[in-house]
Amino acid sequence: MLVVSLGGSPAERSRSNLLLERSRRWLQQQGIEVVEYRVTGFPAEDLLHARFDSPHIVDLRAQIANADGLLVATPVYKASFTGALKAVLDLLPERAFEHKVVLPLSTGGSKAHMLAVDYALKPVLSALKAEEVLHGVFADDGQIAYGENGAPAQFAPALLQRLDEALQQFHRALLRRPKALDKNLLATARWSI
Ligand SMILES: Cc1cc2nc3c(=O)[nH]c(=O)nc-3n(C[C@H](O)[C@H](O)[C@H](O)COP(=O)(O)O)c2cc1C
């Protein structure tokens, strides 16, 4: 099983990325392979000029095509998701998320914008034909503290509980997906149609 993790924060030190890191570790403990992308990993020129043939974008598209699900994280910027994340999503084909389960994660300075993912990001995930977009997890900045001097980050217990529940739901949704047919099945079949 393969999950693509896409981090939408342009910031090097990023709370939304901490949510992603923790989620990736959780999924890996369940034996799920996770490949990681961040908006900062794409050349800015490729995004600004909408270069659909950018090798970085071609690679992302190939990984998404093979993936069962996606974790998409973003900070709230101006009551929406980040422009950098939109610039990446704009370079994906229209049906890029077809047959995929998506878990959105977001962080914001104010709880007043906790619905930004619902009214701003989810319509875009639907436009990309995501099969199932799960109820996302929002954390306000007070719920995630950076660890200083190499110490691990601290998450509020209530946030951890919501994140774990969302990941369990994501895992169940991944397991529910129909399995690809074995290529050799028809070759060995003993019946005719
Ligand atoms: C340019 C900019 C715009 C922001 N706009 C909002 C906003 O509209 N609402 C909000 O709640 N937080 C806003 N914030 C705060 C961030 O969403 C918040 O600090 C978030 O956790 C940052 O995530 P990151 O550390 O992953 O970059 C903004 C921050 C920046 C830098």
State the closest ligand 1 atom to the C-alpha of 13, by its place in the atom list counted from 1.
25
Confidence (pLDDT) at 116? 95
Q: Ligand 1 centre and the CA of 30: distance in Å?
A: 31
Pocket test for ligand 1, best of 22, 40, 77 (most atoms within 8 A of CB): 77
Q: Is residue 193 part of a domain?
A: no
Q: What is the CATH number of the domain that holds 116?
A: 3.40.50.360
Residue 117 forms part of a structural domain: yes
Closest to 48 measured CA to CA, from 60, 59, 57: 57
What is the number of structural domains in the chain? 1
pLDDT tens column, 114-132? 999 999 999 999 999 999 9
Decide if 86 is inside a domain.
yes
**Helix axis angle, 157-176 to 15-29, nearest 10°:** 50
pLDDT at 74 over 70: yes
Tokens representing 122 are: 């989810």
Tokens representing 157 are 């217990």
Provide the pLDDT for residue 99: 95
The pLDDT assigned to 191 comes to: 61
Domain limits for position 103: 2-188
Residues having CB closer than 6 A to ligand 1 are 9, 11, 14-17, 75-79, 107-110, 113, 141
Give all strands (DSSP E) within the chain, no chain letters.
Answer: 2-7, 33-38, 69-75, 101-108, 132-133, 137-140, 144-145, 154-155
Q: Is residue 166 part of a domain?
A: yes
| C-alpha dihedral (3, 61, 75, 20), degrees to nearest 10 | 20
